[in-house]
């Protein structure tokens, strides 16, 4: 193996490790805080559906004799290149996504958390903030399920999904696999948007694990690097140009990662969410930012109050159990005092 080949193989192992590891920081952070405030259920919920589609499609391409025969009929006798690790990765991602979803939908019954998490109550508008899926995500999920269902019905009714050579020109079970793949791609395009919007409304990234984004970005960058290296070594750029949709969606994921990094380290650096009225879904939320003077004016007293509130907020963020809601309320009182 030449040097570039070794580098390509190393990139492959490392990006797989980064992507697999990226599913752990958020549920671990939620467990440490004993709550999910600051985040929404939209991302893990639609991500679960996406990886369910991905698991079904990769498993079918790997293990279904009928699907593999149909694939060969349409691709000049070639067989799918799906490996066992692809199926294992999809199953692992699905399980971790479902674990994260359970933290939103069953916080008390399954996890034993109180309704007020360590970052909710007085700091976020409601202990239920973010636990209800948005209409966008529910609509996207319904559309994906309906689309895959319609293709399945067409294959079933046509009677051509038998895995024979006629699959090259007729409806076949391979088309259901492709529909599952397209559903996963559409979900990838949209899944981060609700959390980007939530961070914008909170003017803060508190509660959202930046570690998962850094790992995802590292994995995406190394995956792209491996693709470019392999194409260069083979002097064949069809792997890059031959599937522009997949390449574009990969770049979209990296773009979302860049947005989250900008929100966390630049736009809302040092900002913490404070109390707001309403149900926590659509109301504008106020933040305490050490760099901002607030609505009550500027000056040394304001800066000192903001610093005290930020310290109280950090104690609430790091604490767990029964003390956390009290510290959160103290942070909100500090903010209210600064505005008076």
d(CA 98, CA 96): 5
Tell me the whole-structure pTM to 2 decimals: 0.75
Mean pLDDT to the nearest integer, 305-316: 54
d(CA 154, CA 163): 15
Query: For 311-322, how does the pLDDT look when each residue is reduced to its tens digit (9 = 90+)?
Result: 555 555 555 444
What does the chain come to in residues? 340
d(CA 273, CA 89): 35
Mean pLDDT to the nearest integer, 191-217: 94
Tell which wins on pLDDT, 87 or 241: 87
Alpha-helix residue ranges (DSSP H) falling in 106-209: 135-158, 173-190, 193-202
Query: CB atoms < 10 A from the CB of 13, how many?
Result: 11
Inform me whether the pLDDT recorded for 299 exceeds 90.
no
Q: pLDDT-derived band of residue 39, with 50, 70 and 90 as boundaries?
A: very high
Q: CA of 137: how far to CAs of 175, 183, 192, 213, 317, in Å? A: 24, 13, 10, 20, 28
Mean pLDDT to the nearest integer, 196-208: 93
Query: For 44-80, how does the pLDDT look when each residue is reduced to its tens digit (9 = 90+)?
Result: 999 999 999 999 999 999 999 999 998 888 888 888 8
Predicted pLDDT of residue 237: 78
Inform me whether the pLDDT recorded for 98 exceeds 80.
yes
Predicted pLDDT of residue 285: 40
Dihedrals phi, psi of 271, to nearest 5 degrees: -90, 140
DSSP 27-59: HHHHHHHTS-TTS-SHHHHHHHHHHHHHHHHHH
Predicted pLDDT of residue 322: 44
Query: For 249-267, how does the pLDDT look when each residue is reduced to its tens digit (9 = 90+)?
Result: 778 889 999 999 999 999 9
Of the candidates 334, 335, 319, which has an alpha carbon nearest to the alpha carbon of residue 119? 319
């Amino acid at each position: 193996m030449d040097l570039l080949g070794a580098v390509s193989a190393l990139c492959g192992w490392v990006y797989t490790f980064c992507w697999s590891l990226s599913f752990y920081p958020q549920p671990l952070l939620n467990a440490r805080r004993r709550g999910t405030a600051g985040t929404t259920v939209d991302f893990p919920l639609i991500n679960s559906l996406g990886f369910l589609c991905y698991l079904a499609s990769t498993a079918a391409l790997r293990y279904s004799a009928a699907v593999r025969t149909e694939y060969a009929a349409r691709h000049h006798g070639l067989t799918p290149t799906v490996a066992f690790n692809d199926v294992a990765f999809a199953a692992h991602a699905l399980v971790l996504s479902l674990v994260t979803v359970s933290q939103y939908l069953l916080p008390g019954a399954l996890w034993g958390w109180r309704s007020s998490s360590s970052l909710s109550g007085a700091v976020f508008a409601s202990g239920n903030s973010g636990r209800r899926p948005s209409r966008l995500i529910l609509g996207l999920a319904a559309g994906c399920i309906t689309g895959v269902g319609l293709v399945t019905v067409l294959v079933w009714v046509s009677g051509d999904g038998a895995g024979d050579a006629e699959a090259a020109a007729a409806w076949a079970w391979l088309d259901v696999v492709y529909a599952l793949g397209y559903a996963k791609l559409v979900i990838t395009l949209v899944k981060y948007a609700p959390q980007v919007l939530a961070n914008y409304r909170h003017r803060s990234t508190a509660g959202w694990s930046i570690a998962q984004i850094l790992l995802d970005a590292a994995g995406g960058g190394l995956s792209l690097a491996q693709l470019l290296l392999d194409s260069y070594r083979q002097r064949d750029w069809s792997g890059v140009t031959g599937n522009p949709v997949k390449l574009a969606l990969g770049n979209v994921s990296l773009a979302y990662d860049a947005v989250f990094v900008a929100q966390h380290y630049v736009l809302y650096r040092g900002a913490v969410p404070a109390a707001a009225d309403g149900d926590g879904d659509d109301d504008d939320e106020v933040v305490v930012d050490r760099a901002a003077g607030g609505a009550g004016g500027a000056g040394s007293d304001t800066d000192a109050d903001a610093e005290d509130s930020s310290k109280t907020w950090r104690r609430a963020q790091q604490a767990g159990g029964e003390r956390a809601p009290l510290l959160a309320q103290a942070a909100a009182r500090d903010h209210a005092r600064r505005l008076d």
